[in-house]
Structure formats: C-alpha cells, structure tokens
Amino acid sequence: MQTLGSIVFTTFLFLWTIGYAAFFVLIGGFMSHRRRFALIEWYAERIFDVLRITCKLDYRVEGLENIPAEPHVAYWKHSSAWETFGQFLVGPPKVIVLKHELMYIPFVGFGLWLLRSIDVRRGAGASAVNQVVSQGRSRLAEGLSILIFPEGTRVAAGETRRYGVSGALLASRTGCKVVPVAHDAGFYWPRRGLMKKPGTVRVIVGPPINAGGREPREINDEAQAWIEATITRIRTERS
C-alpha cells in the first residue's frame, strides 16, 4: 500500500504543481507580494494534506519562537524535496535562492519570478555570490526574509557538505540574523526514489545567530554545527 500511495502522491504532485503554477501566473501579476505568498502557502498546505492521506506522512514544527520578527536569512537543511514546500509554512514569507535552470520550467519559472526568487548560475563563482548579496539586500529592505539551502544541493540523509558563503556574507554585511533549521525529511522522503515512508517529519528552528560584521565562514561553521548536531539528536530520538 505504501508503494501505491507513493505513486498516487507523486502523480498528484506533478499535476498539481503544473496546474497551480499556470493558475498562479495568470493572477499573481495583479497581486501584492504578500497575497502571492499566501497563495503559495495554500498550495503547499494542499500538498501536505494529500501526502498525509496517501503516504501517512505528517510533520511538526518546534522552536517557532526562535524566528525573529525582522527579516532574516533562513538556513534550511536540504536533503529532500519536502523542505522545498515545507519552508512556505514555517515562518514569514521567504525569497528562495535557487539555481537558474529552474526558471526555464514552464509556468513554474515565471511563478518563481513572481515570488521574487533569486536565481544564480551554478559555477558562476564570485559573480553568483555578489548577485545573492546585492539582490538579497534589496529583498530584506522590502521586508522579505531570504531562504538559502547552504549546501547548494540536496544531500543524502546523514550527510553534509561545505556551506556556500553567499548567505553568511549577506547577513554579515546587512546585520540581519541567520536562523538555522534542522529536519529529518530526508529519512522519510529521500532525495532519490519514489517511496515515501510513513511517520512525522520533525522540523526544529534553532536560536538565531548574530551575524553582523562577523566572518562568513565563522557564521557558517556555527550554523552547520548546530544543524548537524540537531539532526543527529532527531535521528537518535527517533530510534
């Protein structure tokens, strides 16, 4: 039954995303940023409703009190597709830093543009970092927070890689806080494969990190240490 549920969910996710993206781009251009994000929250909520029914996979969030009232840079662990949708439902509206290739997906790409996403080209080096800092600064000034997957790509559950510098550099130069977010979604919804495991994804929002004027690598080391230690704790408590 879990296999059938996973197939049903994956089919729904594909059709729902393409259909909703087409609807979103038709009306999103006439809306404020806040209303656009409200529409996307509704889209993500429906995904998790179907995920709960078909795959018996739910989620819970801890540490919401750690999210600052002011715009910030959110660091999310990236081990699954789950957090791509889940981040819309945790905290204030966030602008996503994403790879440029996603902007070419029909309807979806234009929808991401309407959400003020910051797209960067892989391998662009310093120019990509400068783009995140420049555009991120303007988004923060607009009252929007920034979402960064600091590892740059999805990694298998239990693994990590060196964090990119752009988010930490943005936070250091603007003085905003970095908020680390750990979760175990990769255990239930692996980065590869069709199967979804039943259970409850646990999301923990960590204490905000003061970043103003600090060295970016120091900020990243602190965030990564907290995220990986928290994921280890989640895994131990799950066992």
Residue 33: its pLDDT value, please? 83
DSSP state letters, 142-177: TT-EEEE-TTSS---TT---PPPSHHHHHHHHH---
Q: How far apart are CA 80 and CA 77, in angstroms?
A: 9
Residue 109: its pLDDT value, please? 85
pTM above 0.85, yes or no: yes
Residue 170: its pLDDT value, please? 96
Domain span at 39: 2-238
Average pLDDT over residues 146-167: 92
Residue 124: pLDDT band with limits 50, 70, 90: low
Q: Which amino acid is at 190?
A: P
- Taking only the tens place, the pLDDT of each residue in 63-102 is 999 999 999 999 999 999 999 999 999 999 999 998 888 8
- Taking only the tens place, the pLDDT of each residue in 173-196 is 999 999 999 999 999 999 888 899
Domain count, the chain: 1
**% of the chain residues with pLDDT over 90:** 76
Q: Residue 214 has what DSSP assignment?
A: S
Q: What is the CATH number of the domain that holds 108?
A: 3.40.1130
- Taking only the tens place, the pLDDT of each residue in 209-239 is 999 999 999 999 999 999 999 999 999 998 7
Residue 224: its pLDDT value, please? 97
Q: How far apart are CA 146 and CA 157, in angstroms?
A: 24
